[in-house]
């Protein structure tokens, strides 16, 4: 059995929003504007090692832990704030056959936008750094490479320069033609 480090950056939000309903071609349109939100963040790590594993394998998996903890400790809060800025005070509109389904679709759109920004700024760079770390260490098989040195090199690679979090955190999302969701009848909740 090989070692394995599984990770998750759980991310959830509670919204307070204003709601406006209007008639639409499909039945009902709902526009939501987030007035306040509370974001819940976390980091879950699960390291699995075989019995009697080598110290090198243990060290390799600890290198993965180091990278995930580094990205979470340094970037999770700022990524969440940036994600919140993308939706706070901005109207999100959805249409459906009825207003309940339109509201559900608008909330789903808020969740998607929030999650996409957070993932782009936090989870994706951490995963990319870990993938790079595995290349540097040949997934822990290259014993001449010190795991901590390799993990620090992977962190540096994905926090500076063209690949890094610093660049991503200053990016602005390209404007879209509209922030509108129209669920298909098969995907609409409550039908």
* Containing structural domain, residue 25: 4-169+177-181
Range with lowest mean pLDDT among 74-78, 98-102, 163-167, 175-179:
175-179
pLDDT band, very low/low/confident/very high, at 25 (cuts 50, 70, 90): confident
- 8 Å CB contact between 165 and 70: no
For β-strands 91-96 and 180-181, DSSP reports them as: parallel
- Asked if residue 186 is part of any domain, the answer here is no
- Asked if residue 82 is part of any domain, the answer here is yes
- Asked if residue 19 is part of any domain, the answer here is yes
44, with CB counted inside 10 A (0-12, 13-18, 19+), is exposed
- Asked if residue 153 is part of any domain, the answer here is yes
* Arithmetic mean of pLDDT, 35-53: 95
pLDDT the model gives residue 26 = 83
Q: What share of the chain is helix, strand, coil (3-state, %, to 5)?
A: 50, 25, 25
> Ramachandran region of residue 140, left (φ > 0), alpha (ψ -120 to 50) or beta?
left
More confident residue, 116 or 190: 116
- Helix residue spans in 32-178 (DSSP H): 55-87, 99-118, 124-137, 147-157, 165-170
- Asked if residue 191 is part of any domain, the answer here is no
- 8 Å CB contact between 47 and 66: no
With 80 as the cut, is the pLDDT of residue 48 above it? yes
Q: What is the mean pLDDT of the chain?
A: 85
* Arithmetic mean of pLDDT, 113-140: 94
- Asked if residue 189 is part of any domain, the answer here is no
| Interatomic CA distance for residues 2 and 20, integer angstroms | 54
- Asked if residue 187 is part of any domain, the answer here is no
- Asked if residue 190 is part of any domain, the answer here is no
| Interatomic CA distance for residues 121 and 34, integer angstroms | 21
* Arithmetic mean of pLDDT, 162-186: 36
Number of compact structural domains in the chain: 1
């Amino acid at each position: 059995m090989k070692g394995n480090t599984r990770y998750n950056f759980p991310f959830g939000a509670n919204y307070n929003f204003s709601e406006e309903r209007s008639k639409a071609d499909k039945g009902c349109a709902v526009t939501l504007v987030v007035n306040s939100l509370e974001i819940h963040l976390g980091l879950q790590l699960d390291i699995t090692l075989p019995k009697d594993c080598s110290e090198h394998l243990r060290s390799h998996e600890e290198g993965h832990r180091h990278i995930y903890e580094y990205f979470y400790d340094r970037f999770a809060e700022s990524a969440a704030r940036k994600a919140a800025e993308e939706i706070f005070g901005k109207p999100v509109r959805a249409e459906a056959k009825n207003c309940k389904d339109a509201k559900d679709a608008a909330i789903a759109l808020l969740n998607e936008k929030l999650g996409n920004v957070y993932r782009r700024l936090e989870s994706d760079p951490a995963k990319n750094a870990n993938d790079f770390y595995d290349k540097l260490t040949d997934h822990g098989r290259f014993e001449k490479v010190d795991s901590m040195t390799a993990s620090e090199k992977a962190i540096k690679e994905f926090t500076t320069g063209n690949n890094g979090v610093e660049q991503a955190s200053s990016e602005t999302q390209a404007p879209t033609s509209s922030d509108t969701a129209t669920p298909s009848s098969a995907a609409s909740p409550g039908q």
